[in-house]
Structure 1
Amino acid sequence: MTIRTWFGDNRFLIVFALLASLMGTSVGVAKLTTALYAIELKADAFQFGVLVAGQMFGTLFMSLPTGFLVDHFGPWRLFVAGSTLAGATYALVPLVAHPAFLLGCTVAISFFMPLRFVSLNTVFFEQIRKMGSGKAAWYRATHMSGQFLIGPSLAVTLIALLGYAGTWWVLAFSFAVTIAVSPIVLRNTGRLRSAVPERLPLRTFPGQLLQLLRDRELRWICAVDIFIESLMVFEVMFVVAIAIQVFGMHASGASAFVTAAGLSFIAALFWSDGIIVRIGIRNSYLLGFSVAMIGLLLQGSAATSAGFWPGILLLGVSLGLLQTVTLMRVVHIGARFGQGKVSGVILMTPPLGAILGGTVGAVAGQYASLQAAFYAFAPFCLALFVWQWYDKLAPTAEPEPIATAD
């Protein structure tokens, strides 16, 4: 196979990976810039905490409606609308140097971002459903690569070169770039809309939502995703504090734990599809929960920084494996209910997971220690393992790609 042939066969995935990486990078830049700018504005602890929560606030309210709107109006219109509104709001941030204004802009943007991500998710899963779901985790992997590996360092560089105002304007411009690039990925959106009625069926919204929530596999996937997100949030938010307070490490060394967790998670997203195909869906879930349990116990019991490393890496790999399985199943659930609706439901799991992860960390830190929180997560992991072990109706193997007449 020549390079030209390979590129032709994988053109959609390559362009989509570049777009997802660009969007992830903008998220990474925005998150770190928001935190540093809040400190620059002398935000107090309460304002800082509300600011962190505000980044997820709109997602909880907009994810489900956006999923239904995408299936009705098509991804292109909503992607452009969300990108335009979010980019314009980022451009407004430096106009008023006050924590309250920053919070207002952050909350507003959280309402616009689902228009982008649900739209892109819908197109990606629709294409993967046709090509085979083995590469379903590519979107998550490329997006996280931009968010955790590129975005933070780029934010620091931009702030040093351009200051906060210049960084916000560059961030706003990046949204215009995604609008310009997106037609390459969204070129087939007309097909996704062809079977949708012209008038928005508002009366049927509650019934369709209830039908989604009744699907036992979708409920299971949401539970697993919330578990994954809660642990990822805990690793990012609290592991640095554990490394500094418990192991006496410097900030630079402590941040290496977060980088390692992200790298192992991303690597698993790229390469675990082969394992899933060989051992099946059910066994992949069981393997993921088993390795996650080992990782949790190793981190909870580590007495030195060296003893912390194996748990970090094992937990990252196991969560990446579990995430890949859930994404592969989302492809097939979306074929039954509509990719937009299912993407909207799935997009609700990150904020719910963030709430769970932050709550477990806060309670454990208050009444025991931050490191003890790893033991607190273990019962959740065990419960999911037992649920899957005794679930006789769970899928055991991944179906073949769905043939199309394109």
Structure 2
Amino acid sequence: MFAALSSVMGISVGVAKVTTTLYAMELRANEALLGLIAGSQSVGVLLMSIPIGLLVDHLGPSRLFVLGSLVAGTLYMALPAVPTPVFLLVCTTAISFFMPMRFVSLSTVFMQQLETVGEGKAGWYRGTHMVGMFLLGPMLAAALTKALGFQGTYWLIGASFLVTVFMSPIVFGRYAARSTPRRELRLSGVRSDLGLLAQDVELRGVCLIEFAAQSVNSFFMFFIIPIGVAVASLTAAEASGLLAWQGVTYIFALFSLGGLVGRVGHERIYLTSLVLVPIALFLLGLSGELNLLRAGGLILGLGLGLLQIANLTRIARIGARVGRGKVAGLHALVGPSGGLFGSTVGGLVGKSLGLQSMFLLLSVLFGLLVALARRTSSAVAAVHPAPTEPAAAE
């Protein structure tokens, strides 16, 4: 049931993201507005991830999940009421404030269960979500908007959020509250969690990698559709399909390569990704033909998938060392921060340089951030060698 809930959530998010892109294009939003609309989906996540993590300790994940699902679903249903880019921007921003109630709550349950299923399955939770988000969602979005129109599609998205409310009691009923004292609901609690980034070198390195990966992924997800339409003269369905091509290898990596990461080690995985991702970004940034864009998406998915598994296993180990709640909140914050950077800055800068040229710029930024994080990882490996070997042995 956990996998089913995660899959339904992924499908609804995947359909919503692509539908929002297509709807923004239908409303003739310019590059700057496209970037703002893309970035608005992360604004609330940035502000609410750590506070929601604190609330989970006090209220439990179930009630927060239900509240977030009900409000976000209602807002999606109301979104097409005023067909203007500004109203779309307002609604997507408002929705972003309630989405952390859903995924931070579910992540809390997952981190507790990870101790039972083992690190080798770390990618499975993310994989079930991504099957819906990268494969089924994008493929369904183009078909649904064509068959139901934007209003009908947004109503269906809202209804899917209600479905997750009815599924949630089975999943969250397994959650066991921590016996440790709850953290206080004070601003100092948020500052303390943020302070870990300055204090813990390994955590800072992992967060840098997550930021870089999510920046690239967010820009690809939101802008590959208008780029495909403008540069390669693709139809909306063909351009949406590029997301599915990337999702194939991304999800393959999450489900199949967890054991490989454990055998070869994080350093070699980071080196492999440091080669694969820039190659993919150069293909996407220089190609104007469908098959080359597909190839770029496939390589990008593989590189980011490997990177995601390595990061998830390291996050689990860091959480066991310094506290899972704190690390989960920070991890939930850093990913959307990268997403906001990739989509918003990408859209604003892309208005001057051209959207496709942003893939080339992102390849340079990605390389710099991952290289910096690798240096951090090497330094930490000498300080914390003990936890690595037992975890790999498991």
Amino acid at match of 2:379: K
Residue equivalent to 1:136:
122
Give, in angstroms, the shift of residue 21 of structure 1: 0.9
Closer/same/farther in 2, CA of residues 290 and 123 from structure 1, 3 Å limit: same
Give, in angstroms, the shift of residue 51 of structure 1: 2.8
Identity of aligned residues (%): 41
Q: How does 1:218-257 map to 2 (within 5 A)?
A: 218-240=203-225, 243=228, 253-257=238-242
Give, in angstroms, the shift of residue 229 of structure 1: 1.2
Residue equivalent to 1:400:
391
Q: Does 1:22 align with 2:8?
A: yes
Q: Distance in 2 between matches of 1:58 and 1:381?
A: 28
Give, in angstroms, the shift of residue 172 of structure 1: 2.2
Q: Distance in 1 between matches of 2:188 and 2:284?
A: 50
Give, in angstroms, the shift of residue 201 of structure 1: 5.3
- Contact 1:67–1:342 at 8 Å: present in 2 too? no
Unmatched 5+ residue regions in structure 1? 1-14
Residue equivalent to 1:105:
91
Give, in angstroms, the shift of residue 368 of structure 1: 7.5
Give, in angstroms, the shift of residue 363 of structure 1: 3.7
Between 255-264 and 138-147, report the one with greater CA deviation: 255-264
Q: Give the TM-score normalised by structure 1.
A: 0.82
- Contact 1:365–1:373 at 8 Å: present in 2 too? no
Give, in angstroms, the shift of residue 370 of structure 1: 2.6
Amino acid at match of 1:142: T
Q: Distance in 2 between matches of 1:255 and 1:157?
A: 10
Residue equivalent to 1:261:
246
Give, in angstroms, the shift of residue 272 of structure 1: 1.3
- Contact 2:213–2:366 at 8 Å: present in 1 too? no
Residue equivalent to 2:298:
313
- Contact 1:286–1:389 at 8 Å: present in 2 too? no
Amino acid at match of 1:288: S
Match of 1:281 among 263, 266, 290: 266
Amino acid at match of 1:83: S
Residue equivalent to 1:195:
180
Structure 1 residues 270-294: Cα deviation after superposition (integer angstroms, max 9, x where no partner): 1111111211222222232233344
Secondary structure in structure 2 of the residue aligned to 1:21: helix
- Contact 1:71–1:338 at 8 Å: present in 2 too? no
- Contact 1:264–1:316 at 8 Å: present in 2 too? yes
Closer/same/farther in 2, CA of residues 364 and 65 from structure 1, 3 Å limit: same
Unmatched 5+ residue regions in structure 2? none
Closer/same/farther in 2, CA of residues 72 and 286 from structure 1, 3 Å limit: farther
Between 237-246 and 81-90, report the one with greater CA deviation: 237-246
Q: Distance in 2 between matches of 1:111 and 1:369?
A: 28
Between 112-121 and 342-351, report the one with greater CA deviation: 342-351
Structure 1 residues 201-240: Cα deviation after superposition (integer angstroms, max 9, x where no partner): 5554423432354222221111111111122123334445
Between 205-214 and 280-289, report the one with greater CA deviation: 205-214
Structure 1 residues 167-197: Cα deviation after superposition (integer angstroms, max 9, x where no partner): 33332222221111112221233x2343233
Closer/same/farther in 2, CA of residues 338 and 179 from structure 1, 3 Å limit: farther
Amino acid at match of 1:377: S
Amino acid at match of 1:324: I
Residue equivalent to 1:7:
none
Closer/same/farther in 2, CA of residues 401 and 275 from structure 1, 3 Å limit: closer
Amino acid at match of 1:180: F
Q: Distance in 1 between matches of 2:295 and 2:71?
A: 43
Q: Distance in 2 between matches of 1:334 and 1:108?
A: 30
| Structure of larger gyration radius | 1
Secondary structure in structure 1 of the residue aligned to 2:379: coil
Between 235-244 and 346-355, report the one with greater CA deviation: 235-244
Q: Distance in 2 between matches of 1:303 and 1:26?
A: 30
Give, in angstroms, the shift of residue 67 of structure 1: 1.6
Between 18-27 and 248-257, report the one with greater CA deviation: 248-257
Closer/same/farther in 2, CA of residues 298 and 197 from structure 1, 3 Å limit: closer
Amino acid at match of 1:179: V
Q: Does 1:86 align with 2:77?
A: no
Between 363-372 and 175-184, report the one with greater CA deviation: 363-372
- Aligned pairs, how many? 388
Closer/same/farther in 2, CA of residues 257 and 93 from structure 1, 3 Å limit: closer
Closer/same/farther in 2, CA of residues 330 and 32 from structure 1, 3 Å limit: same
Give, in angstroms, the shift of residue 111 of structure 1: 0.3
Q: Distance in 1 between matches of 2:163 and 2:151?
A: 19
Structure 1 residues 285-316: Cα deviation after superposition (integer angstroms, max 9, x where no partner): 22322333444455556686655555443332
Q: Distance in 1 between matches of 2:82 and 2:51?
A: 31
Amino acid at match of 2:90: G
Amino acid at match of 1:150: L
Q: Give the TM-score normalised by structure 2.
A: 0.84
Give, in angstroms, the shift of residue 75 of structure 1: 1.2
Amino acid at match of 1:393: V
Closer/same/farther in 2, CA of residues 310 and 157 from structure 1, 3 Å limit: closer
Closer/same/farther in 2, CA of residues 213 and 74 from structure 1, 3 Å limit: farther
Residue equivalent to 2:201:
216
- Contact 2:346–2:358 at 8 Å: present in 1 too? no
Q: CA RMSD in A?
A: 3.3
- Contact 2:138–2:240 at 8 Å: present in 1 too? no
Amino acid at match of 1:291: L
